Structure 1
């Protein structure tokens, strides 16, 4: 393959695979840098004291400490910083990796560089290698970008080793980089590349990489909100703000994304302190997805509003998972009063696995909101949530330990199913596949609910098709929040 020009493109597509399989390529570089920046430049390479030879390569502006500790479990004190040159080869370049038992020579490497870069890049390269860091007196590192097509490059690297050091200029006494004057003793070793860039990793899963630069706010990080927050990180959101004043409790762990290992911290000697939910969730998300920025605000929503620290209209999506109708009505009212507001999602579950709901509002229009759901259908009826699958007027709270231990029974299956519906709604919303402000409801198995002696609402008996068809019929033309009609005094 590659001997005939007709096969060259196929070979380029598989170049990195062939390069990694070369028996001379026993080094590995974990690369996290801006691949869209196709300019020749210096980047940083960090040597890690792991088995074999392992490098971490990133932009000079990137602080790698948190990432290296999170991903490679390597202490910063054991990491050595080196200079690396990124050299983008010009379009039309064609090379082949080493054959079995065949090693590259420095002459081949030098010819590759100078034959396949532009005259402008040659000038930049000379400027860069005229300054040689002391740390690179025996080794130099080069990362190459080999164009596959107009959209992507193959990445591969070379280590240059000159055991007796660089040659010194007789006139200026300045050390001369091997690409300017080659020492007698010099050899090169290839290294393979593993990408860590979020866009690349998301593309590998078929995910939507457009979330990388976006900001989501989650209000309430209990059983539903915690799963939503973790899912937003998996989706690639660049920034996630978490708002919740509550602490994680042992009673939460079997339906919360956090486990018992994040119940307590020992910041104070000889004292156990319970984590705030947002603090623990920030630790967990940034541990698993260290490229995600998490902002944890351990305050009530009203306090956050008073602080005026969040520019709400700069967020891309806001998700409310509080399970408290009065509090959510106030939140709904606040965002509908803004001149500009991002889309707002409310999510909640019903007891005993009977179902859950996701309400999308402020999706390009104001008509249809959380307040619309709470009204009587006639003068004789009381106010109820029109989306409910349970007949109105029933109480579902239980207690296992007396006063102060009341809870609404539902399992992690119900909260995670609802959270997944939230995430699917966000993905569909980003693709402009949802019009208006619909409510999406999922139905569970009502057996346990009925066995407890409870009654289902008429809405539960709708088919999935009917629920979808009627997803915007909850709109209240007289809603005091979204109808532009004043509430009578």
Structure 2
């Protein structure tokens, strides 16, 4: 037995490659790749190597390798085979691949294998699950559906995969290994489920194998039927066992793998405004795990919107809400998006949208007059709402949450209310910009139809991130109050244009955070009743 150490050209910026020669010198052990003997002694992701000490890098790599080989030879790490079972199984010769949107469960059940033209088959609980994967749309046709059975093995099952260069399980071995690892109840369920009819041809069995480190492996076998019985019940050993490898696409696997939160899947979010900020909010909400999203915007994506909008020229002259729906559903499974290409006033008055049905509303309109009206309506409906906007020239961005702490006070109207008066003013007290009616912030390139507030894509992205995180914090219960969160940018271009910064801009980031609830005004015409009741 020998160890071969290979130092790549990029060493010591990468780990050495270490091989066991021959690969099976210690038998079939975890972490040693069959055939070439490559040893996976350390996951390189996140590892920091001291490039100034290459000898120590090699020494430590050898130490870890020897420890791993000793554990394999002494059979003290056999459970690692279970953790790595899917990887081993996928390398089995002749494996047939299936897309899997099957969510592992702890009980035996019937499942469906769905074949469509020119596509790899899917395995799913049923057609409804397939529809959910396709964003709530109809399963593509034509399609052929055949039944299969799902078996959940018991936790702690030590199932050693066959060697990729060795013989596959026999039918009898597969039957013994799978049925023998079921609980007594699941064995009765399996017998009842598959013993009620005659079978011909090969039958697919999907297996859930609990991993010692958490979660499930999913793999499958295709077994030949004999004597009209399901191969799990037949005593026949005739025929070959074919491995089925599953490419996993189920929601509980995909969503957290991308850093999203499965707990957001059932939350319903209404986004009003799909412009530069709202467009990014929509995509980030979906990527965060919000799978029920309604978009409202009557505007069209014009070419001049391109360089600060999340959508590109392929969507020019298409309504932003509909274009975002297409973009999200083309790239992300499971997300159900409804798009309304009319004003929010129209869709609510016509009954197309019931605001009370949403867990949170996000307003990214950049239209304070309409947002003040929405603030009143949402307050009366006791709905959580986030208002978000970018200050001119990207000197800052803001996200305000209201309705999250009923009776706690704080709403969008507070920002437009003079603390020394009972009536609403016209100045946003959160803004870092000082408005001058004689000198508007808007810029015109070709005429009044092209009026816009100057800021860039990075400013929109940063503000959208602020608003999205605030929404997630509210939906997951991490945010208990009604805060005003802000970020500050570079004011140079703004000052060069001759504008004045507000006093709030002088506050440090720490001060802005500590004072995030202090924007509330007791004289606010909308939420003052709540504050008085709790004061």
Find the counterpart in structure 2 of residue 112 from structure 1. Answer: 177
Residue correspondence of structure 1 range 438-453 to structure 2 within 5 A: 438-453=483-498
Offset from partner CA, 1:290-334 (integer Å, 9 cap, x none): 201111122212222212343433322211000000100000000
CA shift, 1:428, in A, is: 2.8
State the 1:12 CA deviation.
Answer: 2.2
- Partner in structure 2 of residue 244 of structure 1: 297
CA offset at residue 260 of structure 1?
Answer: 1.4
CA distance in 1, matches of 2:484, 2:247: 43
Shift of residue 411 of structure 1? 1.1
SS at match of 2:77: helix
Partner residue, 1:97: 161
Q: Is the 8 A contact 2:113 2:122 kept in 1?
A: yes
Distance (Å, rounded) in 2 between the aligned partners of 1:245 and 1:452: 32
Structure 1 gap segments, 5+ residues each: 168-174, 264-273
Matched, 1:42 2:110: yes
Deviation at 1:356, TM superposition (A): 0.9
CA offsets per residue over residues 428-486 of structure 1, 9 Å max, x none? 33454434222111111111112222221221122111222222222111111000199
Provide the secondary structure at the position in 1 that maps to 2:529.
coil
Instruction: Give the drift of 1:150.
Output: 10
Cα deviation, residue 204, structure 1: 2.1
Whether 1:395 and 2:440 are equivalent positions in the alignment is yes
Range with bigger deviation, 436-445 or 123-132:
123-132
- Structure 1 contact 65–76 (Cα < 8 Å) conserved: no
Quick one: distance in 2 between partners of 1:354 and 1:13? 50
Tell me the SS of whatever aligns to 1:404.
helix
Aligned twin of 1:296: 339
Task: Encode CA deviations 1:179-228: one digit per residue, 9 max, x unaligned.
Answer: 33356741011122222122222322343221111111101111111110
Partner residue in 1 for 2:89: 19
Change (3 A) 1:247 1:469: same
Equivalent residue number for residue 507 of structure 2:
462
- After the TM superposition, which segments of 4 or more aligned residues of structure 1 sit over 6 Å from their partners? 2-5
Q: 1:478 to 1:377 in 2, by over 3 A?
A: closer
Name 1:33's counterpart in structure 2. 102
| Inter-CA distance 182–240: structure 2 relative to 1 (3 Å threshold) | same
- For residue 357 of structure 2, the aligned residue among 310, 314, 329 is 314
**Equivalent residues of 1:336, 1:481 under 8 A apart:** yes
Gapped regions of structure 2 (runs ≥ 5): 1-28, 31-71
Inter-CA distance 314–69: structure 2 relative to 1 (3 Å threshold): closer
| 1:485 to 1:365, Cα distance in 2 relative to 1, 3 A | closer
SS in 2 for 1:253: helix
1:83 to 135, 138, 147: 147
Q: Structure 1 residue 85: deviation in Å?
A: 1.1
Which of 145, 149, 158 is the aligned partner of 2:221? 158
Structure 1 CA distance, aligned partners of 2:440 and 2:135? 49
For 2:265, the equivalent position in structure 1 comes to 212
Equivalent residue, structure 1, for 2:205: 142
1:358-437 alignment, distance < 5 Å: 358-366=399-407, 367-376=409-418, 383-393=426-436, 394-437=439-482
Q: 1:314 to 1:402 in 2, by over 3 A?
A: closer
Q: Could you say what secondary structure the match of 2:128 adopts?
A: coil
Q: Do 1:360 and 1:438's aligned partners in 2 also have CA atoms closer than 8 Å?
A: yes
Q: Distance in 2 between matches of 1:46 and 1:372?
A: 55
Asked if structure 1 preserves the Cα contact closer than 8 Å seen for 2:170 and 2:241, the reply is yes
Cα drift, residue 5 of structure 1: 7.1
Whether contact under 8 Å (1:69, 1:75) holds in the other structure is: no
2-structure distance, mates of 1:467, 1:361: 17
Distance 1:292 1:382 in 2: 41
Q: Secondary structure at the match of 2:314?
A: helix
Structure 1 equivalent of residue 53 of structure 2: none
Q: Given the two structures, how large is their TM-score scaled by the length of structure 2?
A: 0.78
Note if contact 1:142-1:158 (Cα within 8 Å) is conserved in structure 2.
yes
Residues matched between the structures, number: 454
More displaced 10-residue stretch of structure 1: 213-222 or 12-21: 12-21
Per-residue CA deviation, residues 141-173 of structure 1 (Å, 9 max, x unaligned), is 1101122359632211111246xxx43xxxxxx
d(CA) in 1 for partners of 2:301, 2:441: 23
User: 2-side partners of 1:383 and 1:336: how far apart?
Assistant: 20
1:220-239 to 2 correspondences below 5 Å = 220-239=273-292
Q: Deviations over 1:244-270 (max 9, x none)?
A: 22222222222222211123xxxxxxx
Q: 2:385: which partner in 1?
A: 344
Counterpart of 1:267 in structure 2 is none
Structure 2 counterpart of 1:281: 324
* CA RMSD between the two structures: 2.9
TM-score in terms of structure 1 length: 0.85
1:323 equivalenced with 2:366 (yes/no): yes
**1:110-157, CA deviations, whole angstroms, 9 ceiling, x for partnerless residues?**
112332223443333233334568xx7432111011223596322111
For residue 60 of structure 1, report the CA deviation from its aligned partner: 1.4
